[in-house]
Amino acid sequence: MKTMMKSVVVALIAVAASQAIAQESPWLVRARAVYIDPDNKSTPVGGVGASDRIDVETKTIPELDISYFFTPHISAELILTYPQKHKVRLDGAEIGSFKHLPPTLTAQYHFAPGATINPYVGVGVNYTRISKVRLLDGAGDLENDSWGLALQAGVDFRINERWSINADVKKVNIRSDVYVGGANASHLKVDPVLFGLGVGYRF
């Protein structure tokens, strides 16, 4: 009888431990649809005329986010996608396009871990790799990369122990000098706000 009781107790402890591990898994993966809304601030082209004549298009992109929880309140999130193509306009007329790859790493604080509604804030760094620039029939160019601050706020709506719905907004600094014929013609602050909506899965 004692042996049977011990076996039952051990089994119950094992089940409880496995459930605790599942609940406390440090990994969370999210898939989001993200709407990119650039700020589009630029200096006068060639130093003359009006400001803000250069415009980068808005766009909706897919995004994959991987989070690791160091504690229930503190996590790090790596934000990934594939190179995205954006059209560029000058005074409303299309002058070409470029591609950018913008991985972003943020540190987050979660206010109510385990609750049905869990808001969070984050701060981190964005690295944007700019490539395949096609501006002004080859006469225009951008810098190859950009480093900038990333600010974030969002909320997870818990469905069950593993699944959640996520809403997220980020402000990211992405900036580049604009060259025409090899000369610096303007400085562009894309600085987009990114509105995201998606689902999360906790391993």
The dihedral sign for the CA sequence 57, 59, 64, 65: positive
> Does residue 13 sit within a domain?
no
What CATH number is given to the structural domain containing 138?
A: 2.40.160.20
> Does residue 2 sit within a domain?
no
Show the domain range for 93. 26-202
The pTM assigned to this predicted structure is: 0.83
Residue 162 has φ and ψ, to the nearest 5°, of -110, -35
> Does residue 160 sit within a domain?
yes
Give the chain's domain count: 1
> Does residue 49 sit within a domain?
yes
In whole numbers, what is the pLDDT of the chain averaged over residues? 90
Q: Is residue 2 pLDDT above 90, yes or no?
A: no
> Does residue 87 sit within a domain?
yes
The tokens describing 65, both together, are 């986010």
Rounded CA-CA distance 78/60 in Å is: 19
> Does residue 181 sit within a domain?
yes
